[in-house]
Structure 1
Amino acid sequence: MKTVKKSFFLLFGFFFLFIFAKITFASDYVGQWILTSNLPFNLANHPTTAIFNKLFTFGGSTSFVRSDSISSSILADGSLFDWETTTSTSLPVGLFWHSLVNNGVNIYILGGTTYPPENSVNNVLRGSFDPFGNITGWTEMTPLPKRLSGGSAVLVGNTIYYSGGGTWSGGWGGLTLSNVIYINKIDSSGNLGLWQTNPVNLPRPLVQHTLVETGKKIVLIGGSYSPWSPSNEVYSAPINPDGTLESWTPLDSLKIPVRYPMVGKVGDLVIVAGGVSTSWATDKVYYSLINSDGDTGQWTLSANKLPKINCCTGSAVWNNTMYITGGHNNTDSPNNYYDTVWYAKINYTSPVPTSTPTPTPPTPVVFLPGLGGSINFKEMFLGQSDPTKWKMTPGANVYDNLLKAFEGNSNFYVFYYDWRKPVLETAQKLNNYIHTTVNPWNNKVDLVGHSLGGLVARTCVQKTENNCYVNKLITVGSPHFGAVDSYPALEGGEIWRTGPIKLGYELLVHYFQRPGEIRKETIQRIAPVLKDLLPNFNYLTKNGINLPPSDLSIKNSLLPELQILSSLENKTKTITGRGFNSIEKIILTEPNWIDKLLGNWPDGKPTDKQFTLEGDTSVLVKSSSFTNPLIENFTYDLDHGGIISEKAPLSKIMELLDLELKAGTYDSLNDEENFLVFFVHSPVKISSPDTTPDSYTVDELIIIPSPTNKNYTLNVEGTENGFYSLSVGQIGTESASWQDYYGEAQIGKTQNFEFDINIENPPEDPLLNNQIFHSLEFDTLLNQCKNLTNSQISNQKYKNIILSLLNLISKEKNNPEMALNYVNLLRNTIATLEKQGNLDSALVNQLRKYSSKMASYFEEKAFGNPKITLKTQADSYFNSAKTMLDQMEVLHNFSKTATLIFLEAKEKLSEAQNYLNLERYYQTKILAKNITGLLLEVKILSR
């Protein structure tokens, strides 16, 4: 009987334990810890972060300090690929106990300790990435106000908070702990401003604590309040609208005191794993839920403890998975440092409120316009953060009906973006925008993207954390497999599109083009997005043979990264247009000698195009749709603008979003194709009484869509004293005409200009009554050349030579023929010094640009007061210049710069021929002499 009773109680005990274990595991948010690819070496005291579907660690230490940058790709099941070490992107110095924040685009490393000896630093480094998550280098940012390590940093929106930490100076003794919180903001270019001190400090000086952002507040967890004494205290501080923190309020304490734990956050769940408790590391894992006030509650012990005691190491969260890399056990044992990497699935989803009978809120809709559809002067032109000033580009009319359909819908958002940037970079910013601005109630959004906007949205779904929070994705005419007309832009600097796309590129190229730079170089430098738009299907034919994309000198590295479509299936719909002539193939030939010398068309120059009706004029059907049966496509006989503006596709979009299209007229819309542009470089601001309601106007830029042929007034007001430039652009369907003007601004003084605008037939110089201005403009340019010479040439001999030539030009201002001789002599002189390596090419190109403008001034001045010249004399000058040019063209052994000058001379020769035909012999002579001077410059640079 005793044996039976004993067996019964044992059986009951095992049954109870089994049921209890089952209950514990069923309610445990933290999954079992699984071993994955080991680090290349033992490592602790380092930060870990997840970005671009990769895990990264930087620096750290064992018995010595490391500077390594190592990374591993995160696989679909959460495990890791083999770790890679990138020597070229190691930290500038070995660091441990440094902090890290990650904004989805860049990472920022703050403070830390170097060794030997133990010295805290105040350095702040920004790590930048290429579009595929490979770190490309480090940039020094504004340093922390004090040397600190072991502090904690957290990012809320675009604001970095760095708190506490300690200062070591030459050893472990004399540690000074801090309770100060420093604040800084990341601007649109990824740079930091000056650090500000928060009005409220930490509750006490702390080191090796953790800050966690909970939406409304920042929560402070654990840490050490005296050297190596852990704390179990937890506090929260509300975030004010200006970014400062209010006072700290105590919350439910941790179950055990802990310093340097590994902390993660998934939705509203905070996980605290390991760390040092009393004298030893712990293997315990706790979690707590964030309540509606932004506070953590009671802490619950997870049944899934760490595989071994661990502390003082990096952790990160990616797609509901927590990773812990390396670490150590806080003992002096020989194996106290680890190379192991563990991960656990976090089985938590933020609950949907069901306690009230209020209707379920609709899922937010985020719309992304296409390439050229967004504009923000400060962000795109000046590189300054100005997130509230994004607008639709003037003339982007095709979106008017869509915006009308969503008018009054508080759950509708437009994500404007810098469409020049790499697609993956923009996708990361979209993810951040959804998280911080949309802040969807159910962590879900519906994404609708037109053209490039759809490719950005798709990339965000496939390549960013949480799959871009996507519920539904609708792409409209999006180049999922590339756009054919990206080739001419990248290889030859030619823009084949019209409308806002042409406006955007023409404006940005003229704004950013450096002296001596060809259009192709400027476009490649300012618009890396074009590489992401190169097709991955055959679209080029050369010598009757298909030229595969893999053989091009420039390759699309984005699209191969997007081939696995599983994350798009059953949630993605595509809308395509067909029935309109669309370029399917470009026929190439070998570029001519000029293009070869300039570096244009390395893979072949277009000579013809083959068209198909299987496209919407801009994007082919085979590019805007998928063959995957789990991604449904809807096709309309509409062009690229019609599929986002006409009633039928708009009704389909609304239907797919479970919405209804408002009653109204939804006719097909087209973008504006003609634009008038004024822009300035400081120190002035501009305004015009002739702008229209749909114009884009800021102090430095005015864009007027659909300008009429008339005189336009422009007011230029000095904001400071100094040199300024004004550019006037007339952009039409077939061409773009630019004129540049230079002046001296006086603070508070306004200059008024009148321009004769005719987009179809723009005058060579649209400035009316320009004689007086151009005389002042010459003085301005001459002074600017002198200023550049004085400030940028250190060799006194060369400086004196150039200044003397500038003085001779000034002296002969009223004798344009002689002044032109001196301008050519100046150009030949600086070319000689450049060729000898005595002058910087950037400076020479700038002086060359201003000299060319001065030469044009003297040519016009000479033309206005012609001298009697015999035909024989004109013939002689012309034939001499032509013979010289023809001989040089046969040899054409030029540098790139010399080729550009040769083209300038060739253009003037054509102009001289016209004057000769019109029997205007003095003008012919003047141009011929100038051509000879230019060709001498070509010879100097080609020796």
Structure 2
Amino acid sequence: MNYLKSDLIKYLILTIFVLSGFFMYTNPVQAIYATTTSPALSGYNFQNISGDYIADSSFWFDGEHFRFSFTPTRDFYTVFYHYGDRIAHYPYYFTYLTASYFFQSGGGGGHGAYFVENLDDLNNYQAGNSIFFLWEAGQRYDSYIIDGDIASSGLTEDNLYLNWHFKDNPDDKLKLDYSYVKFASRYFDSINNTHPKNYINYDYVPEDYKLDPVIIVPGILGSWDLGGGWQLDPILNTYDNLWEALKLAGYEEGVNLFAFTYNWRLSNVYSAMEFKNKIDEVKAVCDCDKVDIVAHSMGGLVARAYVEMGDYENDIDQLIFLSTPHRGSVVSYLTWEGGEVGFKKNEQLQQRIFKVEAEFNGYGSVYDYVRELPMKSVEEVLPVFNYLKDKSLDDNWQIRDYSHNYPHNLFLELLNNPSQLDKLNNIDITNIIANSGEATVNYLKVISKDFIDGQWQYGYPDGFYSAFGDHGIEYGPGDGTVPYTSNSKFYNFSDVIINSSHNQVVTDAQKVVIKELTGNEPTVEVRKNIFSKYLLIRIFSPADFVVVAPDGKRVGKDFTNNSSVNEIDGAFYSGFESGPEFVVIPDPLEGKYNVDLQGTGTGEYKLSVSLIDDNQAIDSDYSGFVTPGGVDSYNINLLANSISSLTPQINTLEELLEEIDTIYQKGWLNHFGSKNALVSQLKNGFKNNQQFDQLNKFLANMLEKKRINQQAYGIITSALINIKNNL
């Protein structure tokens, strides 16, 4: 009852914000420039017209296509006809530009060229169709110049006549004579024999063609503050390829390319207010009224919250969603209700990062961290559809209705209210969905089970903590994180489905994103930083550490200079000055890694190393005691799909005797008499091979009788080899 009362209060607060006018928006006016509806052409004359009928014309090159920009002084139509095997100018209605090109060698020739507003304007027509395009007086157009005899299905690369003749020859002079355009015009005008000539202006960029600034909005784990300010996903590098592709498409960082980095642990409502400040900042930089947004995952909900629930200023032109959970994600139930994340590679990495954050901030568990912080963003991604199943008396699993006994997501319930969604109508929206068929949590089969810390209030996924079985999870279509039912066919959005996964879609959709933003589809893609596995090293204080890879490169704290060091490509180090300390190495080299620790205080520490890939997550932990300035060293061997146990670097007999005491205290060596016998043999020395072999046989016998565990056995035998080699 108290929980329902709390929900009601939060809902009333949000509703008051909406009704008070705090969340407002306005409607932009959009013009329609072209139509394919056959017009009544009575009273029109089909005649050559002079340049006086087109103002401010220019021929230019956008880096990929040749363009014809102009402003009509009169309304006119251009006319095409679908012949069945091709599309060309309508019979007798010649609507083309005459292009004469002169190569440096002195050769020349002429050719007719058409112009269209968009490269897909001639697609999807049937044989026998007449196609009319209206060009309105006073409107500014940046049309594309194309060759004649277009394929029956629409434009192909071969139709970009000027492109394939001149793209690789920018020094060739191209002369275009727009006086030879035959238009359908309301006005007759005789033409004389002198026509102005216009060369391609390779330096020209029309004002209207300038790229709107674009802001990338990441999701959970997509921003990190390393003490020097927030950065865009330096751990998984999710956005690197898209960022570079946008730069190749003409965007410039800090000029018209920006990222909104934010504390994703907080409420999306708060983040939306911060997002408004970012948009205002970008508008001031570009001296413009509108921006474009590319929002990934939960970042899409932040953008929607700004438009639907914030002080919206009608300043978003295009909004592109990438795998946004518009109706929520079932995985978030695991985190909000149980402090768990899931079993996939990125989820396993996220779980371990949450754990080191929880420890650093003084929380007893990830669940306590998520609920007591509280991590409101996780609650605000809970699904708003039916996804829990209960076991019936006949042992079948029946779906539970969302209106009954669910953790309600008041944020999404309000955001998805039709009156709120209507505020998106005046934004050009593209909803990109990743649906690779990858197993995605769609349903949870839950049972009632009591937990001391209050976990799983609305149901525990049956067998979730079991080593085997389905863990109470039913998988289905989606991108691995967001189920297909969450973001497909949502409101009136235009869906674009891409064969990809939740994070990978940011790279895989780059061509679609750039075409939506600029009108031009890139011919190349940026595909770097696509990783298959991660090595995660965490320290639970009081100590700092540095990792040395098999090739000698380091990442972590440089104890000599008291500074951060990162020599490994793609690696991430969280830093040592504030916050939890950890290292992530993508696609790590195989071989031996050294981890050196330096105490920052007195007490017990825990070092944890994890290898995470698509199939498994292997952990190796080791605890020790440290004093300020004290140094401990560890080794771990990385193979293709596994890691060895963390092994202390022991080089002297005195260090080994201390370690044996620690091992005994941990219970790894559980037989007091065997421990004393081992210590006695070690003190007697093992300078010759016979003594060395006797020690190893004694240890093997202890292992066989289960008086010592495998990890302790590995530590001691490795130490014996090091000590013997140092004698």
Band of TM-score, shorter chain: 0.5 to 0.7
- 1:546 and 2:422 are equivalent in the alignment: no
In 2, Cα distance between the equivalents of 1:726 and 1:921? 25
Q: CA deviation at 1:449?
A: 0.9
Higher relative contact order (CA 8 A, sep 6+): 2
In 2, Cα distance between the equivalents of 1:591 and 1:498? 26
Residue 329 of structure 2, aligned match among 483, 508, 511: 483
Q: CA deviation at 1:577?
A: 2.5
Q: What aligned pairs does 1:535-614 form with structure 2 within 5 A after superposition?
A: 535-543=383-391, 544-552=397-405, 554-562=407-415, 563=417, 564-571=420-427, 572-583=429-440, 585-591=442-448, 596-607=451-462, 608-613=472-477
In 1, Cα distance between the equivalents of 2:363 and 2:491? 48
Structure-1 residue corresponding to 2:617: 735
Structure-1 residue corresponding to 2:235: 394
Structure-1 residue corresponding to 2:20: 73
Letter in 2 for 1:566: D
Root-mean-square deviation (CA), in Å?
4.1
TM-score of the superposition, structure 2-length normalised?
A: 0.53
SS at match of 2:422: coil
Give the conservation status (yes or no) of the 8 Å contact 1:476–1:643: yes
Structure-2 residue corresponding to 1:632: 494
Residue 658 of structure 1, aligned match among 508, 518, 524: 518
Letter in 2 for 1:664: V
- 1:363 and 2:212 are equivalent in the alignment: yes
Residue 433 of structure 1, aligned match among 265, 278, 286: 278
Q: CA deviation at 1:446?
A: 0.6
Structure-2 residue corresponding to 1:453: 299
Residues 759 and 395 from structure 1, CA distance in 2 versus in 1: closer, same or farther, beyond 3 angstroms? farther
Residue 376 of structure 1, aligned match among 208, 225, 240: 225
In 2, Cα distance between the equivalents of 1:437 and 1:658? 18
- 1:418 and 2:260 are equivalent in the alignment: no
Give the conservation status (yes or no) of the 8 Å contact 2:329–2:482: yes
- 1:623 and 2:486 are equivalent in the alignment: yes
In 2, Cα distance between the equivalents of 1:495 and 1:603? 17
- 1:677 and 2:537 are equivalent in the alignment: yes
Residues 757 and 522 from structure 1, CA distance in 2 versus in 1: closer, same or farther, beyond 3 angstroms? farther
SS at match of 1:74: coil
Q: CA deviation at 1:601?
A: 2.4
Letter in 2 for 1:737: D
In 1, Cα distance between the equivalents of 2:664 and 2:283? 54
Count of residues in correspondence between the two structures? 448
Q: CA deviation at 1:537?
A: 0.8
Structure-1 residue corresponding to 2:153: none
Structure-1 residue corresponding to 2:569: 693
Deviations, residues 118-174 of structure 1 (Å, cap 9, x unaligned)? xxxxxxxxxxxxxxxxxxxxxxxxxxxxxxxxxxxxxxxxxxxxxxxxxxxxxxxxx
- 1:707 and 2:549 are equivalent in the alignment: no
Q: CA deviation at 1:423?
A: 1.8
Q: CA deviation at 1:442?
A: 1.7
Residue 769 of structure 1, aligned match among 627, 643, 650: 650
In 2, Cα distance between the equivalents of 1:437 and 1:77? 20
Letter in 1 for 2:324: S
SS at match of 1:447: strand
Structure-2 residue corresponding to 1:800: none
In 1, Cα distance between the equivalents of 2:633 and 2:702? 38
Deviations, residues 40-59 of structure 1 (Å, cap 9, x unaligned)? xxxxxxxxxxx98967xxxx
Give the conservation status (yes or no) of the 8 Å contact 2:488–2:495: yes
Give the conservation status (yes or no) of the 8 Å contact 1:427–1:460: yes
Q: CA deviation at 1:456?
A: 1.8
Give the conservation status (yes or no) of the 8 Å contact 2:23–2:309: no
In 1, Cα distance between the equivalents of 2:523 and 2:589? 34
In 2, Cα distance between the equivalents of 1:864 and 1:393? 49
Give the conservation status (yes or no) of the 8 Å contact 2:438–2:501: no
In 1, Cα distance between the equivalents of 2:605 and 2:321? 41
Deviations, residues 394-435 of structure 1 (Å, cap 9, x unaligned)? 333565245333346221112223322222222222222222
Residues 435 and 766 from structure 1, CA distance in 2 versus in 1: closer, same or farther, beyond 3 angstroms? farther
Q: CA deviation at 1:862?
A: 4.7
SS at match of 1:434: helix
In 1, Cα distance between the equivalents of 2:372 and 2:340? 14
Residues 75 and 868 from structure 1, CA distance in 2 versus in 1: closer, same or farther, beyond 3 angstroms? closer
Letter in 2 for 1:569: N
Q: CA deviation at 1:524?
A: 3.0
Q: CA deviation at 1:467?
A: 4.7
In 1, Cα distance between the equivalents of 2:673 and 2:363? 32
Q: What aligned pairs does 1:864-943 form with structure 2 within 5 A after superposition?
A: 866=674, 920=705, 922=707
In 1, Cα distance between the equivalents of 2:674 and 2:259? 59
Structure 2 unaligned residues grouped into runs of 5+: 1-12, 26-204, 392-396, 463-471, 556-567, 577-581, 678-699, 713-727
Give the conservation status (yes or no) of the 8 Å contact 2:618–2:642: no
- 1:403 and 2:244 are equivalent in the alignment: yes
Residue 369 of structure 2, aligned match among 492, 498, 522: 522
Residues 722 and 574 from structure 1, CA distance in 2 versus in 1: closer, same or farther, beyond 3 angstroms? same
Q: What aligned pairs does 1:48-87 form with structure 2 within 5 A after superposition?
A: 73-74=20-21
Give the conservation status (yes or no) of the 8 Å contact 1:641–1:670: no
SS at match of 1:430: helix
Letter in 2 for 1:707: P
- 1:508 and 2:357 are equivalent in the alignment: no
Letter in 2 for 1:479: P
Q: CA deviation at 1:510?
A: 2.7
In 1, Cα distance between the equivalents of 2:380 and 2:575? 33
SS at match of 2:594: strand
Give the conservation status (yes or no) of the 8 Å contact 2:571–2:585: yes
Deviations, residues 473-530 of structure 1 (Å, cap 9, x unaligned)? 1101110100111112222232215344432331221332378834422333453321
Give the conservation status (yes or no) of the 8 Å contact 1:477–1:643: yes
Give the conservation status (yes or no) of the 8 Å contact 1:503–1:731: no
Deviations, residues 590-621 of structure 1 (Å, cap 9, x unaligned)? 255xx5345332222224433333x2232223
Q: CA deviation at 1:472?
A: 1.5
Q: CA deviation at 1:561?
A: 1.9
SS at match of 1:866: helix
Deviations, residues 244-266 of structure 1 (Å, cap 9, x unaligned)? xxxxxxxxxxxxxxxxxxxxxxx
Moved more, 400-409 or 554-563: 400-409
Q: CA deviation at 1:447?
A: 0.7
In 1, Cα distance between the equivalents of 2:281 and 2:223? 20
Deviations, residues 678-699 of structure 1 (Å, cap 9, x unaligned)? 4464564646434421111254
TM-score of the superposition, structure 1-length normalised?
A: 0.42
Give the conservation status (yes or no) of the 8 Å contact 1:445–1:471: yes
Residues 676 and 921 from structure 1, CA distance in 2 versus in 1: closer, same or farther, beyond 3 angstroms? closer
Give the conservation status (yes or no) of the 8 Å contact 1:687–1:716: no
Q: CA deviation at 1:368?
A: 1.7
Moved more, 669-678 or 569-578: 669-678
Q: CA deviation at 1:534?
A: 0.9
Q: CA deviation at 1:635?
A: 2.1
SS at match of 1:390: strand
Letter in 2 for 1:696: F
Residues 535 and 645 from structure 1, CA distance in 2 versus in 1: closer, same or farther, beyond 3 angstroms? same
In 1, Cα distance between the equivalents of 2:554 and 2:24? 60
SS at match of 1:428: helix
Q: CA deviation at 1:856?
A: 6.4
Letter in 2 for 1:406: K
Letter in 2 for 1:555: H
Moved more, 662-671 or 571-580: 662-671
Deviations, residues 644-693 of structure 1 (Å, cap 9, x unaligned)? 222xx333222221243443245698554422224464564646434421
Q: CA deviation at 1:452?
A: 1.7
Residues 694 and 581 from structure 1, CA distance in 2 versus in 1: closer, same or farther, beyond 3 angstroms? closer
Give the conservation status (yes or no) of the 8 Å contact 1:686–1:699: no
